[in-house]
């Protein structure tokens, strides 16, 4: 049964990657404006003064304009740093530069704060391949965020950033998969 879920996840991920690759530059720009506005609204509504957020890769929902705004507002931002053991370290990225992480995605450069640094934020913003109507998240298959969220004693609100067509009725679910508290799309904020 587990392999059936794995096959379904791989097929769905492939379909979602293709959809993202087929977005036009106009569609991407419009989506980025929507993501930025909705992320700003969420941070303001939650009075978040410290957040964690990923640096977006080329085909991911673009978080960079939002991150620029958050930094200008004096909000402390923790960026994830992948580790060989499957856990995440965190940095505030004080060097204003980035490198390619061990998984090939962009990562901030700065002093490593260790896995428990995430416990001090007011809001966690994570990437996802898809989210379903119950808040179940399907990631890209590496498990970094599932491990992090599953190990937290007291977790602040967690919101995933996805395109509108990645909000699905249901996603394939395995035991280790972690739900989120809400979703940010270009057109809306959904809380579960």
Secondary structure letter of residue 136 according to DSSP: B
Q: Is the pTM of this model over 0.75?
A: yes
At 99, the pLDDT band (50, 70, 90 cuts) reads confident
Would you tell me the crossing angle of helices 64-72 and 25-45 to the nearest 10 degrees?
Answer: 40
> Tokens in use for 28?
């991407």
Q: Report the candidate in 56, 144, 59, 61 with the shortest Cα–Cα distance to residue 108.
A: 56
CATH superfamily of 2-191: NagB/RpiA/CoA transferase-like (3.40.50.10420)
At 6, the pLDDT band (50, 70, 90 cuts) reads confident
Q: Distance between CA atoms of 69 and 54, rounded to whole angstroms? A: 14
pLDDT digits (tens, 9 = 90+) for 141-162: 778 888 888 888 888 999 999 9
pLDDT digits (tens, 9 = 90+) for 109-132: 888 898 889 999 999 999 999 999
**Secondary structure E strands in the chain:** 50-53, 76-82, 88-91, 98-100, 106-108, 123-127, 130-132, 137-138, 158-161, 167-168, 182-184, 189-191
Q: Distance between CA atoms of 47 and 66, rounded to whole angstroms? A: 15
Q: Is the pLDDT of residue 47 over 60?
A: yes
Secondary structure letter of residue 55 according to DSSP: P
At 177, the pLDDT band (50, 70, 90 cuts) reads confident
What is residue 141's predicted lDDT score, i.e. its pLDDT? 74
């Amino acid at each position: 049964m587990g392999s059936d879920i794995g096959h379904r996840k791989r097929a769905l991920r492939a379909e979602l990657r293709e959809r993202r690759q087929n977005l036009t530059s106009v569609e991407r720009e419009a989506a980025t404006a929507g993501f930025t506005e909705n992320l700003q609204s969420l941070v303001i509504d939650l009075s978040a003064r410290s957040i964690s957020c990923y640096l977006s890769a080329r085909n991911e929902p673009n978080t960079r304009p939002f991150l620029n705004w958050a930094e200008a507002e004096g909000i402390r931002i923790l960026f994830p740093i992948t580790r060989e053991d499957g856990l995440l370290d965190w940095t505030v990225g004080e060097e204003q530069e980035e490198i390619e992480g061990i998984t090939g995605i962009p990562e901030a450069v700065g002093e490593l704060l260790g896995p428990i640094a995430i416990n001090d934020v007011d809001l966690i913003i994570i990437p996802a391949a898809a989210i379903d109507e119950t808040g179940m998240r399907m990631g890209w298959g590496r498990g970094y965020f599932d491990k992090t969220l599953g190990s937290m004693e007291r977790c602040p609100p967690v919101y995933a950033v996805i395109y509108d067509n990645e909000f699905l009725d249901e996603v394939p679910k395995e035991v280790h998969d972690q739900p989120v508290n809400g979703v940010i799309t270009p057109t809306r904020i959904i809380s579960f």
